[in-house]
Amino acid sequence: MLITLILAACSTPEDEASEIALRYANLPLTEVEQSYAMVCADDKAAKSLAEQKAALEALKESFPDLFKEKAEEDQVSRSVQSVELDAGKTSGTVHLEPTKGDETDSQSFRVQKEGEDWCIVTGWAEIKRYEDAATKAQGLVDEAKSLKENWKFDEASAKLDEVDIALAEIPEEHFTAVSVRSDVAFERTMLDTLTKDWLGGRWSGSTEKDPMTDQENAVVYLESLDSLTNSVGLGKKAALIVRCQKGKFEAYVNAGTVLDSNWRYDTVSGQHRFGDAKAEKLIGGVSTSRDAVFLRDPKSWARRFKESDGSKWLVELPVYNRTPQTVTFDLTGSTKAIDMVLGACGG
């Protein structure tokens, strides 16, 4: 008993770390329970004994040659090549080398002290942490995509910033993280493209100087929330377009499909309503392509669009060879968009 105590007192942290690494390395592959008992607590929390046994069975069934190769490695005797511990002598790496057989490659095992005992760091906890972080990051990317599709570009950009934070702790080469980083790069490119002409809400627009008159031309565009179905059953979103071109102010709804119009008077008749207000008649001139209706007295319409900033505008249009259909426009941001066009046309 005294001899045992003396030997224990003389053993160094390097000796103890080496001992656990040798025991773990020299256990047969099939001795799952014994090897699992040497694993550190964090790694055990990340993978249960049952999961480890299942992984071994899966390896045996799916990759028999690899399983055989791993089993043959059990026949190799190993000795300690070197030990590297941290300053506190509580964790580090033990490097082992074969002492007989044909194997020439050395093996390294991460070890850690838990209480009075040393254990093997398998990396399961680290892998799970990376996977959880990558899964969280992918969820944030999906949220960013949804925000982008709903024209909430600033929020989408902020969400992508959260993704960068979630990915910061994951190694560059991590498979899932590589995919997520690729998604983030693509979404940022898309946001840059979409926000180039973005005015707020779902409005986009641009201005340019007319090369013939030096007057400023301006156009703003608002896509409908829903689609109109054409005569062959295909759906397409409508667009509210307000523009100032060569000093002329116009506002029209492009249906994206042929409208049922009065051919004699070149007009389209429908209905519209702002928010919860009572529905009103809508009569406007039809375009030569018969797929758009120009709003009469466009500046009065511009005023109403600004007054309804933040609400919805519903428009019922007579689609050719179909029953009348309704599309909805979200007018959020209309004040800024309309003012840009009015400014180009002198207010």
- Nearest Cα to Cα of residue 36 among 18, 50, 15: 50
Cβ atoms of 197 and 206 closer than 8 Å: yes
Same domain, 60 and 178: no
Same domain, 171 and 215: no
Q: What is the pLDDT of residue 104?
A: 59
Same domain, 162 and 230: no
**Pairing status of strand 248-254 against strand 292-295:** antiparallel
Percentage, residues of the chain above pLDDT 70: 93
Same domain, 115 and 131: no
C-alpha Rg value of the chain to the nearest Å: 35
Same domain, 236 and 291: yes
Backbone φ and ψ for 308, nearest 5 degrees, come out as -100, 15
Q: Could you report the per-residue pLDDT of 242-284, keeping only the tens digit for each? A: 999 999 999 999 999 999 887 767 899 999 999 999 999 999 9
Among the candidates 64, 96, 122, a domain finishes at 122
Q: Could you report the per-residue pLDDT of 312-340, keeping only the tens digit for each? A: 999 999 998 889 999 999 999 999 999 99
Same domain, 132 and 103: no
Residues 6 or more apart in contact with residue 177 via CB below 8 angstroms: 130, 133, 134, 137, 167, 170, 171
CA 133 from chain center: how many Å? 13
Section 124-149 average pLDDT: 95
Same domain, 182 and 107: no
Ordered DSSP codes for 232-248:
TS-EEEEEEEEEEETTE
Please report, for the chain, how many H helices and E strands are present, in that order: 11, 14
The CATH number that applies at residue 19 is 3.10.450.50
Residue 171 maps to a domain: yes
Backbone φ and ψ for 168, nearest 5 degrees, come out as -60, -35
Among the candidates 90, 105, 122, a domain finishes at 122
Residue 2 maps to a domain: no
Residue 83 maps to a domain: yes
Same domain, 205 and 340: yes
Residue 275 maps to a domain: yes
Same domain, 337 and 216: yes
Same domain, 159 and 79: no
Same domain, 27 and 134: no
CA 140 from chain center: how many Å? 5
Residues 6 or more apart in contact with residue 24 via CB below 8 angstroms: 35, 38, 109, 120
State the residue range of the domain holding 190: 127-195
Cβ atoms of 20 and 40 closer than 8 Å: no
Q: How far apart are CA 176 and CA 138, in angstroms?
A: 9
Backbone φ and ψ for 254, nearest 5 degrees, come out as -95, 115
At 79 the three-state DSSP class reads strand
**267: β partners:** 262, 285
Q: How far apart are CA 208 and CA 200, in angstroms?
A: 19
Same domain, 273 and 317: yes
Q: Look at residue 301 and tell me whether its pLDDT is greater than 80.
A: yes
The CATH number that applies at residue 270 is 2.60.40.1880
Among the candidates 178, 195, 212, a domain finishes at 195
Backbone φ and ψ for 296, nearest 5 degrees, come out as -75, 145
Tell me the pLDDT band of 102, cut-offs 50, 70 and 90: low
- Number of compact structural domains in the chain: 3
- Nearest Cα to Cα of residue 56 among 33, 76, 39: 33
